[in-house]
Structure 1
């Protein structure tokens, strides 16, 4: 991964310039380069300077003016702009400033028509073999990180951002647990690992973290910091090619996030095949995956019943009243 030699520096002069500078400093302190975001925040700073804004305050009217849709603008562009200001607002509130935080309906992506790609056991085996054989380099940790990272996404049902943000202190190599903090929904959870995954984490840690601090990122490039999503995405696509799993392109998948979907579906499939009382077990899946409520997990019931027709009767018998229909809105799981 190419590491910038230095950060891009910008000058801020609006009534909230101090908050913006502190926000950028915090993001860089935890490992983000944050150059593109800083550039966008400079534009926002200039906009704020033209408004009658009280010092160190982010009024609702000002925020709405900035994140409002613009002519010929794609929804994704507007959403990125809104998300950045939402993060700034959350930072300000956390530090005692008054700020308006846009609601999730503004910053959340519209549920896509994309149907998650559920890997077969054979495809998973080929994929993990491919990650185990990525080219090794003394100047990079990628061949060490990729086999553990992708097994963790599938084996623990993590979001890729949760895996990337793990710190050394979050991976308990004695108890075999992962502490997932500061998640997408602001919920923390403790996840047990399978013995095989735990052993891989121990082997990886012995090679990479001989002199690391507890606050260092668990999946860290050789030069330190945190791997970007793009870095793991490149490893993912390379592994797909080596495993001979066709990639349909952006928006068509398979995606890294589909590892998480596959974990949930395979879990439900196993429970159904073993005649497990899914009514009792299902809430545990929601908690394990960090969903805010059962509704966020119900999507997997439909997906499981559609992909594995032989267990549809079993699922319908217990969950016919909660299995959502195709096209229903659901949280981006």
Structure 2
């Protein structure tokens, strides 16, 4: 009996230019509100690292603008958590909710991000739209296992958070513990896996180890 082994895809780590290109591509969608919805969604995923299911599951009441928080309710494994937001993100979400072209049907739906029909976004539709946007943004596969995926915005957020820790000469280990909580990981080992495919991060780790072994501060 043969054993079929599943190969994990290689994370597609997005640069700031890639994310800007995706947001710009979202601006080409067929209606201004649909464009604003996908621009908001992509930006939100990029700056919070939340799961796509968590993002489309957000309700308007989950945004606590006064305290600068997003509340993730019933995330993976039934866990809930609060995500502190940058003030610019709070402002952008508030502007999105106050758009004059927000579908009238959305008044009866609790969802934060809504379709042109005023209903909650559907996972399959979001995935299909993202693939089209990646093409318009000029993002191409880097290998058979490394293709632009929506979920990899989460990978990119995790890697950039730790990269900033190394560049700031701070304590990346302490930042890793915070990152694990922020991402909603029950097992910190899951967070380590997110970071294992980043060549730039591995180089920084190697450089720090080399300095340590060489006695440099």
Q: CA deviation at 1:113?
A: 2.4
Unaligned runs of 5+ in 1: 1-74, 76-109, 318-333
- SS of structure 1 residue aligned to 2:41: helix
Q: CA deviation at 1:185?
A: 1.9
Matched, 1:152 2:44: yes
Among 2, 5, 22, which residue is 1:127 paired with? Answer: 22
Name the residue aligned to 1:118. 13
Matched, 1:176 2:71: no
Name the residue aligned to 1:46. none
Please give the per-residue CA displacement for 1:60-98, whole angstroms capped at 9, x wherever unaligned: xxxxxxxxxxxxxxx9xxxxxxxxxxxxxxxxxxxxxxx
Unaligned runs of 5+ in 2: 211-217
State the distance in 1 between where 2:158 and 2:178 align: 11
| Change over 3 Å in CA distance of 1:224–1:252 after alignment to 2 | same
Does the CA-based 8 Å contact 1:240-1:247 persist in structure 2? no
Name the residue aligned to 2:148. 254
State the distance in 2 between where 1:315 and 1:142 align: 45
State the distance in 2 between where 1:250 and 1:219 align: 32
Please give the per-residue CA displacement for 1:127-179, whole angstroms capped at 9, x wherever unaligned: 22222332326xxx421210111111110001100001001111123322110
Please give the per-residue CA displacement for 1:213-237, whole angstroms capped at 9, x wherever unaligned: 6x61111223333211122123212
Does the CA-based 8 Å contact 1:128-1:151 persist in structure 2? yes
TM-score normalised over the length of structure 2: 0.83
Q: CA deviation at 1:252?
A: 4.5
Name the residue aligned to 2:98. 206
Alignment of 1:71-90 (within 5 A): none
Q: CA deviation at 1:293?
A: 2.4
Among 89, 97, 112, which residue is 1:218 paired with? Answer: 112
Q: Number of residue pairs matched?
A: 204
Alignment of 1:33-44 (within 5 A): none
TM-score normalised over the length of structure 1: 0.56
Q: CA deviation at 1:314?
A: 5.4
| Change over 3 Å in CA distance of 1:206–1:186 after alignment to 2 | same
Does the CA-based 8 Å contact 2:103-2:116 persist in structure 1? no
State the distance in 2 between where 1:300 and 1:251 align: 16
Name the residue aligned to 2:203. 310
Matched, 1:277 2:155: no
Name the residue aligned to 2:180. 286
**RMSD of aligned residue pairs (Cα, Å):** 2.6
Q: CA deviation at 1:122?
A: 1.7
Name the residue aligned to 1:49. none
Query: Which is greater in Rg?
Result: 1
State the distance in 1 between where 2:16 and 2:178 align: 23
Name the residue aligned to 1:97. none
| Change over 3 Å in CA distance of 1:222–1:209 after alignment to 2 | closer
